[in-house]
Amino acid sequence: MEILDLKFAGVPVWMILVVAGLLYNARFAYREWRKDRDTVRELDEAQRRFQSEHVWKPRMVGGVDCGEWVRKDGRPLGAED
């Protein structure tokens, strides 16, 4: 196949295409990883805030924990939670 024998500056064209494809996919994967990492940080912070204000009150029913989250100050959970 003559197409695979083409060269640009002494480098086979197929190799240039493969490297360009790998770099593009690596760049895309890195951007997605950074976005996912930021999302995980936001979720962890929200979870830490929630657990600093609430506590798990266990209630066992037939060997299954059917407890609920309650505020540490004793007020009932509301719409703002």
| 41 token code pair | 């940080």
Beta strands in the chain (DSSP E): 7-8, 11-12, 54-57, 60-61, 64-65, 68-71
Residue 80 lies in a domain: no
For every one of its 81 residues, what pLDDT tens digit does the chain have, with 9 covering 90 and above? 566 677 777 778 888 899 999 999 999 999 999 999 999 999 999 999 999 999 988 888 998 988 888 888 877 776 665
The confidence score (pLDDT) of residue 35 equals 94
The confidence score (pLDDT) of residue 9 equals 75
The confidence score (pLDDT) of residue 38 equals 94
| 54 token code pair | 């609430």
The confidence score (pLDDT) of residue 22 equals 97
- Residue ranges making up the domain that contains 13: 3-71
pTM: 0.55
Domain count of the chain?
A: 1
Residue 45 lies in a domain: yes
Residue 76 lies in a domain: no
